[in-house]
Structure 1
């Protein structure tokens, strides 16, 4: 059992309640959205440090309407993407859309609801992404990452925060899950490393490093890359990364170096960018995430 005051993930337990840095005094009260969609009392409230700007001013009317409509469904969802980055870091930048995360089982429910309400819907990729349109404006409905490594699950909802967005109380993805959601976005056209570095810089006291490691257990080297990237960018802030975590990852690397080189040629680069590493699988004999590749001599 935890003591009266004891560290716990991205905060500490005091008198039986989880305390998280930066939260307001009413954080653990039940908050109902203006449209009746209840958010559990366990979801703490934060004051966003900033909000993105929209490419088109009229899009705000659409997003306000969409958020209100979503809240009215009582289907659990999370606001992610640029809105979450701005809320935790204070970075303000322009955005062209709104990212809504949900569990796979709720993905079709959200799209069907908006279709019945008269919106246009599109299933872009049934493995992870749909869109809801009104005129030229849209929002994304996402239940996993494009590479399949990041399914949205109950933990995302349990460890969310809530903010007021466009007149409604909504959950936003927690900082731990926000980092996970961006770890594999590394291609020629888009790289989310700056979002990760800024989130660590500005919200390190809210990150559950044990949970982040568990999410990236199979791909721990990707986490190590991001941490080394942060250390290089901010040498004066290296203590933001827990020593135990860096020790754990470097120990794994040291043990890995003692082992023989894998015989099968493998390129996991397509988890980062399906197009940039396509030639490796199609022409150079490497196996991708699945399938077989050529074998190295010896």
Structure 2
């Protein structure tokens, strides 16, 4: 089946030959994912394959996956779940702000339209800058490397930290990353991007040239300007964007405001 035979999949999308695919727990899982991808492609609803499949495709890192991450726009979230409900699958809206699930027995896949912390939502740019890939017998969109990094920047807690996925994506797919677009995604949280850039430079000192000079200069210039300004009066802890649990005490007991809400004021 060619790309222009699949509804909603432009033939002009760049095509990649996946470096690898994750290993699956069982033949039942492979059958379920194969069926699910085929059904999704047949609906014509725009979607992206992300998560471990995308990491493996861009980096060649192979690890076992317990599920399949399907990204879509918020308006298509209910359409996807309803389609699989009509097919007889059990569906669950785990969190109406970002996550649903489709089950068949013990097998499942996630349907995601935003991040758990509310910093990002899947939009048209994600679809426009996707890639085509052959996956489990179907040709589908896979998340682009720029958006893959963006989707993982805030996953940093004790139970899961995606920093290695980001570093490996920069290492293996740096020539495909749109750094200007990544900076625009993280503009309000540019320090998070600086953390990832410095993390990569420390991990791979011989590969520092994978990060554009202009990007590092821009981020360090922002840091220099910030250091010349006084500290914010309102006590803020953005840590809950990284981990709700690990930084709970800051907001509940120590007087810090989270992303929203009112915190204590520092002494002038």
- TM-score normalized by the length of structure 1: 0.88
On the 8 A contact 2:8/2:45 being kept in 1, the answer is: no
How many residue pairs align between the two structures?
267
Which residue number corresponds to residue 55 of structure 1?
A: 25
Does residue 199 (structure 1) correspond to residue 165 (structure 2)? The answer is no
Which residue number corresponds to residue 7 of structure 1?
A: none
* Structure 1 alignment gaps of length 5 or more: 1-29
User: How far 1:31 moved relative to its partner?
Assistant: 1.3
* Matches of 1:185 and 1:31, distance apart in 2: 33
Aligned with residue 160 of structure 2, among 190, 193, 214: 190
Aligned with residue 261 of structure 1, among 209, 225, 231: 231
* Matches of 1:56 and 1:129, distance apart in 2: 24
User: How far 1:38 moved relative to its partner?
Assistant: 4.6
Q: Deviations over 1:48-77 (max 9, x none)?
A: 000000122310000000001101100000
Which residue number corresponds to residue 168 of structure 1?
A: 138
Does residue 150 (structure 1) correspond to residue 110 (structure 2)? The answer is no
Runs of 4+ in 1 over 2 A off after TM superposition: none
User: How far 1:158 moved relative to its partner?
Assistant: 0.2
Q: Deviations over 1:154-189 (max 9, x none)?
A: 000000001100000000000000000000000011
On the 8 A contact 1:32/1:169 being kept in 2, the answer is: no
User: How far 1:297 moved relative to its partner?
Assistant: 1.2
Does residue 285 (structure 1) correspond to residue 251 (structure 2)? The answer is no
* Matches of 1:283 and 1:198, distance apart in 2: 38
Which residue number corresponds to residue 266 of structure 2?
A: 296
User: How far 1:42 moved relative to its partner?
Assistant: 2.1
User: How far 1:37 moved relative to its partner?
Assistant: 3.0
On the 8 A contact 1:31/1:38 being kept in 2, the answer is: no
On the 8 A contact 1:164/1:170 being kept in 2, the answer is: yes
Which residue number corresponds to residue 68 of structure 2?
A: 98
* Matches of 1:77 and 1:213, distance apart in 2: 24
User: How far 1:246 moved relative to its partner?
Assistant: 0.2
Q: Deviations over 1:6-65 (max 9, x none)?
A: xxxxxxxxxxxxxxxxxxxxxxxx7145xx435102211110000000122310000000
Which residue number corresponds to residue 84 of structure 1?
A: 54
On the 8 A contact 2:22/2:65 being kept in 1, the answer is: yes
Which residue number corresponds to residue 31 of structure 1?
A: 3
On the 8 A contact 2:50/2:71 being kept in 1, the answer is: yes
Which residue number corresponds to residue 69 of structure 1?
A: 39
* Matches of 2:208 and 2:196, distance apart in 1: 12
Query: 1:218 is paired with a residue of what secondary structure?
Result: helix
Any residues of structure 2 matched to 1:244-259 within 5 Å, and which? Answer: 244-259=214-229
* Structure 2 alignment gaps of length 5 or more: none
User: How far 1:104 moved relative to its partner?
Assistant: 0.2
Aligned with residue 223 of structure 1, among 184, 188, 193: 193
Q: RMSD of the TM alignment (CA)? A: 0.9
* Matches of 2:200 and 2:189, distance apart in 1: 18
Which residue number corresponds to residue 91 of structure 2?
A: 121
Query: 1:169 is paired with a residue of what secondary structure?
Result: strand
Aligned with residue 276 of structure 1, among 246, 253, 258: 246
